[in-house]
Amino acid sequence: MKLVFATNNSNKLKEVQSLVPKHIQLLSLKDIGCEEDIPETTGTIEGNAKQKANHIKTKYGYDCFADDTGLEVSALNGEPGVDSAHYAGPQRNAEDNMDKLLEKLKDKPNRAAQFKTVIALQINGELHTFTGICEGEITKEKHGDKGFGYDPIFKAEGYNKTFAEISLEEKNKIGHRGKAIKQLISFLIKYNI
């Protein structure tokens, strides 16, 4: 079966492709000719995921799933949250985003944070959501060169390495997106999709 993953992020696509069953052909936005910026205007992680999935189904006619992810830092009242990708500005630069976050946390002893991913699946005329959370903390410096986004400054609970220092396989086991994708896959298998 064909299922669209509403993303242009090649890192996310690679991460998810390694988890999806072989009988599902995963298509990217590029594969379906979608080159527009899909609206993300709801103000919540869950709302944005639903908005993207509904947009692709309505405009392109494909069953699809979309995700939205945010890093929520306790000492900053949940910032950057829904604004994680463009925390330091519209340029969506990971280095700038990490630098801003580290600067805002420099005098704060509480470095607790969590990554949250919500996946919205639009299939057979129904909308389903799946949520994955990975708790941890923000490091004081960047470490590692794997992964993307905030991975060099996020250490999962019980780990002494950042997401940027562990393998993709390990990150998929403990990470927020991996947890949400596993729920999605269980749903697809349960209902023979």
Residues with a known catalytic role: 68
DSSP 104-138: HHTT-S--EEEEEEEEEEEETTEEEEEEEEEEEEE
CA–CA dist 160, 163 (Å, integer): 10
DSSP state of 154: E
The answer to whether 15 touches 163, Cβ cutoff 8 Å, is no
Q: Would you say the C-alpha torsion 99, 103, 105, 109 has a positive or negative sign?
A: positive
